[in-house]
Amino acid sequence: MIAASVHEMTIAEAAALIRARRLSPVELTEAYLARIDRLEPRVKAWAVMDPERALQEAREAEQAVMAGRVLGPLHGIPYGAKDIICTAGLRTAAGSQANGDYVPAANAAVIDKLKSAGAVLLGKTATTEYAYQGGEPPTRNPWDLARTPGGSSSGSAAAVSAGMASFTLGTQTFGSLIRPAAYNGLTCMKPTFGRVSRFGVFAASWSLDHIGAFTRTVEDNALVLEAISGEDSRDPSTLQGHMPPFTNALHWDVNGMTAGIPAPDGFFAPQDEAIAAALEQAVDALRSLGIRIRRVELPACMQEAVAAHKTVMRAEGAAYHMEMYRTRADSYGPAMREQLELGYELSAVDYLQAQRVRTVFRNEMMKLFRGIDILLTPSTPTLPLPGYKTGSPMFNGPFTNAGLPSMTVPIGLDPATRLPIGMQLAGPIMGEAALIAVGHRYQTATGWHRLAAPL
């Protein structure tokens, strides 16, 4: 039997009902498809849907449940994947005319992993062109349809926020997971660089691309991360060895942990007063949970690190697209074309110097964590902006650049606009567990993550 608010159900709640045979994967999938039918004309979160395929996968999941073969907590859970992640037999256009009607023959590694976990693919979500800044899709923010949902994972964030999927996959090369998640009142983790295989995903920038999931809760995020992480010889950057069971961190005692906060008027100074106020309240809530708060000094090379980040993106993007750009330059949108043109002007020495600056920056960022367990910042400098520009990724870039894990959790609403505000938690390399522990404890003590977009 499905609750009236099925679209607000967490993965953990739905999984418990499926395991108990009180909720059918087919019913659940049909409920999401019906909601997509109703809301998609206004939200525009999806690039392509395949309801028949989704229902077939749901029927297979249901048969397995009835045969006593539940594959895990994602069994029968409907999800969406950003349209730069290849799906066998389902068009993957990457938000670009240059890619046209490309239909991959094989799944990306993450899609195969989710298939093995029994999850049900609903369709592909809208993205900016090749996950770059620019080439914005028509996707709207479910909290206010006149505003951006952020990007580049625009559709992935809007779909979960509008209750059109239980979770979605996105990618971050600058701020494309954490920013849209915060703008849409969601929880999202950008894991450590190499935690999740990018095999079968269009590259925006090889040394900066990360995959993560949009969910309603930290618990759900840990469930998805466990399912999608792991070594993959087809992506040489993946971390080797055994992956930790991230859900164990849901039971950690956070009392006595230490969180660092940078100077409120420095690099992470928000432009909206409401964001600063919400962060202050969230920090107070963490303090009341026994977490010690300490002021920390950021590396002196923040601006140089941003310059290196942008330079590496331009160079690696230009290299990745070189063959297609040579023959189909006019098929690219102007904002992406601008970045590719600049990439072709870069010298090998400039690229290598930028990568050396990143080494210095990563080492400096790691030193920050000598005296703290996690770092806290606002997730975004502003609330979601009116229009289609996807907003500033500046607060998320440092952790993408250094490959450190970061996560956003909802911490309030702007009193004037009722738009969501997020707090970013970051940790040292392979420090996801501490973020999960603190984020989950915060969500057991507060209710911001339970608020739904007023659609």
Partner 1 sequence: MPERQQQEYEAFIALEHSKYKDGHVTPEERESFAGDLRLIRSFLLPEHIAPNAAYRGEMKP
Active site residues: 82, 152, 176
Between 18 and 354, whose beta carbon lies closer to partner 1? 354
By CB under 8 A, residue 362 contacts partner 1 = yes
101 to 160, contacts with partner 1 by CB under 8 A?
Answer: 134, 136, 138, 140, 145
Phi and psi, residue 201, nearest 5°: -115, 130
Binding window for partner 1 (CB under 8 A); candidates: 17-25, 41-49, 57-65, 78-86: 41-49
Between 78 and 260, whose beta carbon lies closer to partner 1? 260
Between 206 and 267, whose beta carbon lies closer to partner 1? 206
CA distance 28 to 11: 11
CA distance 417 to 276: 15
Residue 6: closest CA among 62, 290, 26: 26
- Rg over alpha carbons for the chain, rounded to the nearest Å, is 20
Out of 367, 416, 418, 450, point to the residue binding partner 1 (CB under 8 A). Answer: 367
Q: At closest approach, how far in Å is the CB of 103 from partner 1?
A: 25
Residue 252: closest CA among 434, 447, 430, 444: 434
Q: Is 347 left (phi over 0), alpha (psi -120 to 50) or beta?
A: beta
Binding window for partner 1 (CB under 8 A); candidates: 70-78, 174-182, 285-293, 368-376: 368-376
Q: Tokens 């739905």 identify what position?
A: 14
By CB under 8 A, residue 294 contacts partner 1 = no
Q: At closest approach, how far in Å is the CB of 392 from partner 1?
A: 14
Binding window for partner 1 (CB under 8 A); candidates: 151-159, 160-168, 304-312, 442-450: 304-312
Binding window for partner 1 (CB under 8 A); candidates: 3-11, 61-69, 359-367, 390-398: 359-367
Dig out the tokens for 176 from the structure.
Answer: 């494309």
CA distance 397 to 176: 9
Peptide bond connecting 152 to the previous residue in cis, omega within 30 degrees of 0: yes
Between 13 and 316, whose beta carbon lies closer to partner 1? 316
Site string for partner 1, 173-192 (x = CB under 8 A): -------------------x
Out of 100, 245, 266, 387, point to the residue binding partner 1 (CB under 8 A). Answer: 387
First-last CA distance in the chain: 24
By CB under 8 A, residue 36 contacts partner 1 = no
Between 70 and 301, whose beta carbon lies closer to partner 1? 301
> Could you tell me how many residues of this chain bind partner 1 (CB under 8 A)?
56
- Asked whether the CA dihedral 124, 128, 131, 135 is positive or negative, the reply is positive
CA distance 324 to 331: 10
Nearby residues of 112 by Cβ (< 8 Å), 6 or more positions away: none
Peptide bond connecting 156 to the previous residue in cis, omega within 30 degrees of 0: no
Out of 60, 206, 247, 394, point to the residue binding partner 1 (CB under 8 A). Answer: 206
Sheet with 120-125, side-by-side order of all strands: 46-49, 120-125, 78-82, 167-172, 210-215, 187-190, 406-413, 420-426, 374-378, 258-262, 292-296
**DSSP helix/strand/coil, 410:** strand
By CB under 8 A, residue 360 contacts partner 1 = yes
Are the C-beta atoms of 337 and 326 separated by less than 8 Å?
A: no
Q: Tokens 């979770």 identify what position?
A: 167
Angle subtended at Cα 175 by Cα 382 and Cα 316, rounded to the nearest 5 degrees = 140
Out of 73, 95, 194, 212, point to the residue binding partner 1 (CB under 8 A). Answer: 194
Phi and psi, residue 332, nearest 5°: -85, 150
Binding window for partner 1 (CB under 8 A); candidates: 81-89, 160-168, 172-180, 364-372: 364-372
Between 134 and 155, whose beta carbon lies closer to partner 1? 134
Q: At closest approach, how far in Å is the CB of 308 from partner 1?
A: 6
Length of the chain: 455
By CB under 8 A, residue 307 contacts partner 1 = yes
394 to 423, contacts with partner 1 by CB under 8 A?
Answer: 403
Out of 263, 352, 416, 445, point to the residue binding partner 1 (CB under 8 A). Answer: 352
By CB under 8 A, residue 240 contacts partner 1 = yes
By CB under 8 A, residue 245 contacts partner 1 = no
Interface with partner 1 (CB under 8 A): 41-42, 44, 134, 136, 138, 140, 145, 192-194, 206-207, 236-237, 239-240, 301, 303-304, 306-308, 310-311, 314, 333-335, 337-338, 341-342, 345, 350, 352-360, 362, 366-370, 387-388, 403, 428-430
